[in-house]
Amino acid sequence: MVIGWNRSKTPILTVNTVFDPATPYRAAQATTAQLGNARLLTVAGYGHTTLNNPSSCANTHESNYVVRGVLPTPHTVCQQDTPPFTQPVSDQSAPPS
């Protein structure tokens, strides 16, 4: 455990996707617990960060935290707006017609 992390008077919001290949969800849970005065917002989705894998639900909670200082209720789970790999990719390798 890191000494001194549990001193923040201001609650801290942590956000993590469940299937983040770079930051495992269990690491987000452990970090949030070590911070003490913190809350984990879970995004049930894939990818590293919610910036490239948007969730309007997570965006709302993040805005409420930054603007109003309001944390989401414990164990809040948001969904991603679009599942991964569902947006068509233009096929630039196809020969012209």
Residue 10 CB coordination number (10 Å)? 7
Reply yes or no on whether the pLDDT at 87 is more than 90.
no
CA atoms within 13 A on the CB side of 56: 2
User: Is the residue at 94 inside a domain?
Assistant: no
User: Is the residue at 59 inside a domain?
Assistant: yes
What does the DSSP assignment read for 13-45? EEEEEEE-SSS-HHHHHHHHHHHSSEEEEEEEE
pLDDT of residue 20: 87
**In total, how many domains does the chain have?**
1
pLDDT of residue 39: 96
User: Is the residue at 97 inside a domain?
Assistant: no
In percent, the amount of the chain with pLDDT more than 70 equals: 80
**CB contact set of 27 (below 8 Å; sequence gap of 6+):** 16
Q: pLDDT band at 6, cuts 50/70/90?
A: low
pLDDT of residue 96: 58
pLDDT tens string 23-69: 899 999 999 999 888 999 999 988 887 777 789 999 999 999 999 99
Strand 12-19 and strand 38-46: the pairing is parallel
User: Is the residue at 52 inside a domain?
Assistant: yes
Reply yes or no on whether the pLDDT at 94 is more than 60.
no
Domain interval for residue 41? 15-79
User: Is the residue at 89 inside a domain?
Assistant: no
